Structure 1
Amino acid sequence: MAAVTGVLGRKGVAGVSGAVAGAGLQFALVVVVTRAFPPADAGAFFTATALALMVAGVAKLDAGNGLVYFIARARTYGYIGISGYIRAAVVPCAVVACAAGAVLYPRLGPLAVALPVIVVGDVLLAATRGFGTVRPTVLLDGMAVPGCQLALVAMVAWAAARGEVSGAGVVGWLAFAWAAPYAVVPVLAAAALHGRVPRGRYLPGTARDLWRYTAPRSVAGAVQAVFQRVDIVIVALLAGPAQAAVYTAATRFKVVGQLANQGLAQAVQARLVRALACGEAGLARELYQTATLWLVLLTWPVWLAYAALAPVVLRVFGPSYGSAAPVALVLAGTMMVATACGMVDVVLTAAGHTGMSLLNLLAAVACTLVLDVTLIPAYGALGAVIGWSGGVVVKNLLPLWQLHRRYRLHPFGRHTLTALRLRAAA
């Protein structure tokens, strides 16, 4: 237990540190945009970036998680054939992303051009995590990209304040500033893989094996990408870009929970896959419960503070954003429930139940869409966060029940108490 807690602790702290840094930088970016530009322009920018990330999430085909799965399992025989798996993952994703960029260029402009770069960079970063390292993901995705985005967006805001950028061109320049930092990610991620991937011939059946496992998750990954950001797009369509700006600002802190969960999942996913593949249910339970404890300890203080200080915090975005405090309260409560479930979907997919995960996500998206369409026209941003909250609850409680029924896995248990004592001693 001490060894698991130590390894998970080191990697988890690294992943979550990157998540916290990334969340802080993204929060600062939203502050700059809402302070420097009118709500209509800010909302248009937030809607465009949400749409771009949603499309990129679909185009990734969840190939990254497929690579983590196969690379982690290949450790036992010297990573033979891994280069073939990486090629089999990258090429289809790049093709889909290029096609999506071509179709959406009239709507997204520079963001459409960035889609293939975003997708390829993400898949290559996932491959590095399959080898058990989270450093490239933390440094590039967690720090470098959001840091450069903040710097470039701040430059656009400064130019707008001087009158050098104005009118319809504002959103275009903001989109370019946001998209440009992604250009370096594929190059640096490929460099991080250099030396880790042994050279070898392409093994027959590699692509078939990869996509047989990944295909259900490709659909699930697409649904997850839609679920994460469709609410901003729907708010913009049903209530206008100004309400989309208010909703984005008030829910910006949800990225803290999402990135913290992602950071811990990246730290533990490869080891969890190996444990379940080898039938080591006790180790899988230990990893799950320890990760859940870390997630709760790291994020619940943030949510409690945000709920208590929401009226003050929201005024950072501008005087008109302080009225969104009820949105923040719903967000904080929902994220506390979600984090208490731990990385429940990661455990479910690591056990091989990708089809079941897809059905859960479809149920969550359906819940969100029904509530959004019903509530947003009357309640705006508050209706949107209620819809999102309903989807999050469904997305977490369904797999929690499924893991309990099939494996008797729970997010809390005797490993939680042991990990808590070890953490206190440390």
Structure 2
Amino acid sequence: MAAVIGRKGLAGLGGAALGALAQFVLVVVVTRAFPAAEAGAFFTATALVLMVAGIAKLDAGNGLIYFIARAKTYSYLGISGYIRAALVPCALVAAGAAILLYPRLGPPVLLLPVMVVADVLLAATRGFGLMRPTVLLDGVALPVGQVLLVGAAALAGVSGWGLTMAWAAPYLPVVVLAAAGLRGRVPRTPYLPGTGRDLWRYTAPRSLAGAIQAVFQRVDIVIVAALAGPAQAAVYTAATRFKVVGQLANQGLAQSVQAGLVRALADGERERARELYQAATAWLVLLTWPVWLAYAVLAPWVLRLFGPSYAVAAPVALVLAGTMMVATACGMVDMVLTAAGHTGVSLANLLAAVGCTVLLDLALIPAHGALGAVAGWSGGVIVKNLLPLWQLHRRYGLHPFGRHTLAALRRTAVA
């Protein structure tokens, strides 16, 4: 396994696992401490804040990773200018969004710029090849801090925007520590003319895709709350909390194979690309399918952890488990497509997935509540995975499973 995902991939996977566990505990704490309507209002508010933060990031973090990693090859001159050029627009967009959302969400939304700046700074540390700040701060400190503060607020009887503030507060130390981690690595240099133009010429096309991805990840909770009420939003959030397992496992594995896939496809080494893709898919299935099968079988009992009334969401859990098994069987298919240079096609696929989710949600949620929402989400996920799978097969003859799968598993097991 180490041969496939590498030491950094393992570190990212470990941090992701702890983060997923903390998020699960957070949902249990909130659903146990508050009625379904109050819990749903909290989940809707946090989903909306995270969705807006994902849009306001403008994908500047990925742009910084590209330019910082590239600058290391030549000189560090201009890195501080790239960081400033990334931070200022993102912070301004986040501040504007905070002002617009303040009448609805109250004081917690004022931390939106802090959330966005923290993400950009952590991305800058990854540009220097450092995974530890991301793992420790974003993967461990942030979710654990949220569990502790939200738990304390619940014990103290705090609700409403006070509870949301407890959830958002851990971003403050994260942004300070992320900035401190960069301080010794970024030389303070004069701003070089053209730095911002270069950064945003590269990043701007990706900003749209990042915004759409942020919407796709959380729009379902917001739509459930709007169409079926906050109580159904709480049921939906609890029943679908396990989907983060597949998302984080995919992310952890992607970090270890992305560079190799880019090189293999750029050099025309399709066999090497096929081997990497199939090996990573095999491990993704091995890591996550037992979770989905267990969740499908044990859902009526697992859901009782959130409270007796949540057991009725077992059908939602079944749809989630089946959908995630299909998605993980496709592997990190969208990443392979973008590694091959087809970012425009990837964006079109994402738009199709979001459109499918929204249309199904609007049609099904009013009558079926949380079950209709998971059906809409499932349709979007299937589109998001099967479209690029067909495109990769047509363009490159790549498949998630094949003759490389067993060989890759044997080699990684020996390693």
TM-score tier (shorter): over 0.9
The structure 1 residue matched to 2:137, chosen from 128, 136, 140, is 140
Distance in 1 (alpha carbons) for counterparts of 2:32 and 2:169: 22
Aligned equivalent of 1:227: 216
Question: 2:162: which partner in 1?
Answer: 173
Distance of aligned partners of 1:129 and 1:243 in 2 relative to their CA distance in 1, 3 Å threshold = same
CA 1:199–1:405: 2 relative to 1, 3 Å: farther
Structure 1 residue 396, shift from structure 2 partner:
1.3
Question: 5 Å matches for 1:79-118?
Answer: 81-118=78-115
> Following superposition of structure 1 onto structure 2, how do residues 19-34 of structure 1 map, counting pairs within 5 Å?
19-34=16-31
Say which SS state the counterpart of residue 58 (structure 2) adopts. coil
1:340 equivalent in alignment to 2:337: no
Work out the CA distance in 2 between the residues paired with 1:282 and 1:134.
Answer: 29
Tell me, in whole angstroms, the C-alpha distance in 1 between the residues paired with 2:254 and 2:269: 18
- Distance in 1 separating the partners of 2:92 and 2:233: 31
Structure-2 residue corresponding to 1:189: 178
In structure 2, what is the Cα distance between the partners aligned to 1:70 and 1:403? 28
Q: Percent of counterpart pairs with the same letter?
A: 78
- Residue 340 (structure 1) shift: 1.7
CA distance change for structure 1 residues 119 and 205 in 2, over 3 Å: closer, same or farther? same
C-alpha contact 1:132 1:267 (8 A) present in aligned 2: no
1:108 is displaced (CA, Å) by 1.5
Number of aligned residues: 415
Consecutive unaligned residues in structure 1, runs of 5 or more: none
Q: Which residue of 2 aligns with 1:61?
A: 58
Q: Is residue 266 of structure 1 aligned with residue 263 of structure 2? A: no
- In the TM superposition, residue 229 of structure 1 has moved relative to its aligned partner by 0.6
- Asked if structure 2 preserves the Cα contact closer than 8 Å seen for 1:54 and 1:225, the reply is yes
Name whichever of 72-81 and 234-243 sits farther off: 72-81
Q: Is the CA contact 1:120–1:186 (under 8 Å) kept in the aligned structure 2?
A: yes
SS of the counterpart of 2:346?
helix
TM-score (norm 2): 0.93
Of 394, 398, 401, which aligns to 1:409? Answer: 398
Higher mean displacement: 295-304 or 203-212: 203-212
Structure 1 pair 411–71 and aligned structure 2 pair: CA distance change class (3 A): farther
Instruction: Name the SS for the 1:95 alignment partner.
Output: helix
| RMSD of equivalent CA atoms | 2.2
In the alignment, which of 359, 370, 388 is matched to residue 381 of structure 1? 370
Distance 1:346 1:128 in 2: 22
Change (3 A) 1:303 1:144: same
Which residue identity is paired with 1:266?
Q
Q: Which of the residues 15, 18, 41 maps onto 1:18?
A: 15
Structure 1 length normalisation: TM-score? Answer: 0.91
CA distance in 2, matches of 1:141, 1:270: 22
How many angstroms apart in 2 are the aligned matches of 1:130 and 1:285? 27
SS at match of 2:129: coil
Alignment match of 1:294 (pick from 283, 287, 295)? 283
Cα contact 1:117–1:186 (8 A) shared by 2: yes
Query: Is the 1:133–1:267 Cα contact (8 Å) retained in structure 2?
Result: no
Give the CA deviation at 1:111: 2.8
CA separation of 1:218 and 1:52: change in aligned 2, threshold 3 A: same
User: Retained in 2: the 8 A contact 1:49–1:111?
Assistant: no
- Deviation larger for 310-319 or 105-114: 105-114
Distance 1:115 1:20 in 2: 25
CA pair 353-210 structure 1, distance change in 2 beyond 3 A:
farther
| Letter in structure 2 aligned against 1:116 | P
> Does residue 159 of the first structure (1) align with residue 156 of the second (2)?
yes
From the superposition, tell whether residues 130 and 352 of structure 1 become closer, same or farther in structure 2 (CA, over 3 Å).
farther
Q: Which amino acid aligns with 2:99?
A: A
Bigger shift: 351-360 or 29-38? 351-360
Q: Does 1:315 align with 2:304?
A: yes
Distance 1:349 1:78, change over 3 A: farther
Contact preservation (8 Å) 2:87, 2:120: yes
Corresponding residue number in structure 2 for 1:46: 43
